[in-house]
Structure 1
Amino acid sequence: MKLDIYQVDAFADNVFEGNPAAVVPLTDWLDDDTMLGIAAENNLSETAFFVPTDGGFHLRWFTPTVEVPLCGHATLATSFVIYRELGWDKDEITFETKSGPLVVKRRDDGFVMNFPTKPPTPCVIPDGLEEAFGVKLLEAHQNRFCLVVCENEEDVINSKPDHQALARIEPADFILTARSKKYDFVSRCFAPSHGIEEDPVTGSAHCVSAPFWAERLGKTSLNARQVSKRGGNIQCDVKGDRVDLFGRAQLYLKGQITI
């Protein structure tokens, strides 16, 4: 069997920026082990698979080790493929997912994804986390990720985490974040429980960090920067229990795989 495959840099103004995701269009679902095998072979943080429905698409996301319930950058990459490569001519796409319906709207310069917010609640800084990150941590908040706040953005940028130590700390997915001079906030994202040491740009993490910083800063429209090595910008507009995440994408590769 031959399948089309695309690799798209999401939350990127140019190739080699943002977060690369693989996108595999399907007409019918493959079995889960095959999709997980493709994701492992791709060795990217996420591979997205989608199947057409009556009004939109059913979308699923796999890391190299597990299926995940929500992925922002691979949703952005999938939207890019559906619009730019497959000729979708409607103003928006509705994806049916394990996180419920997700709507993506096209803008001339990119795409707006409407996701559920996941506001975190205060928690104790996990034992060993400050040593694992090697920087001073001020506070911690927990939801899908454990969000930990640094004194300044330089600590977020300069942290050289011990990834083996991070993987031993529960919960094992973390957002390192701080206020920023140029942006409203910066962050980095680490997801060892999903087989990802550091994710370059993470849409789902901003479902946690955007409502946190919206409340902290007293504003609902925020400019965010994920300061990984590749880096990427995300415009976040918090709207109650939903958040609009805006980003751009760039096509890097298209071809076929044989399974």
Structure 2
Amino acid sequence: MQVHAFAPTEALAPFVRTFEIIEAGDAGEKLLIPETGLILGFRYAGSSSLVEGAARLEVPDHVVTGLRATARRMVTAAGSGIILAKFRDGAAGAFFDPPLHQLFGATLPLEDLVDPRAVEAASAGIRAARSHRARVDALERFLLAQRARRDWRADPVVDAALRAIRADPGALRVAPLAGDLGLSVDGLEKRFRRSVGASPKQVASILRLRRALGAHRPGTPLTRLALDAGYYDQAHFIRQVVAAVGVAPRAFLHAAEFCL
């Protein structure tokens, strides 16, 4: 599997963290670790499916994935290719109408959220592209057109909450944070979930998990990974890994193929 990353242009940089083109020469299976931003994808070759228990669910060729608390197992056919836009946390609302918490845990056809004619036109441009750069350009044109149709402004309170969570996800206490921002806990929770797609605690939990897994190197003690990522202790880290991926971290880190 080959992954090619592209930075967004200046106009999209406030909204898109990165573009990725993923191509699979051979069939394969990967575990996808939860992310803090929505993901949009256009498949231009092959197919993929999600494995959930004994079921395999075909992934739409044009897809939006909401935030989720648990990892997903993805099976990709040989010869597949997909381009992804990975949105910054709290920024996907510039492109989609529903409150983002309605997409939590969902994997939906993009046509459910965007005019199918615009989706098909973008898909045709991506399929016809002769280079990865041209595919990214086609996806950027689609996103810029969607952005131009929406009168969207970032919520400054939510942005402040996100900055606090990113700075130290292990220290999050929702009630003091809400008080610092002049809101009730319920008021902060509702605004945050609508704009980001998950609760403050869920986002902090995803960030801690990603930081710990991203920092892992052979021989790194689990206690060091846990404390550096903001967990109370090693036991706290183990509980979250088991909840997110289904197995304890030592077995998972030594055996699993996963994508951050």
Give the TM-score normalised by the residue count of structure 2. Answer: 0.28
TM-score when scaled to structure 1?
Answer: 0.28
- Normalized per residue, the structure richer in strand is 1
Q: Higher RCO, 1 or 2 (CA under 8 Å, sep at least 6)?
A: 1
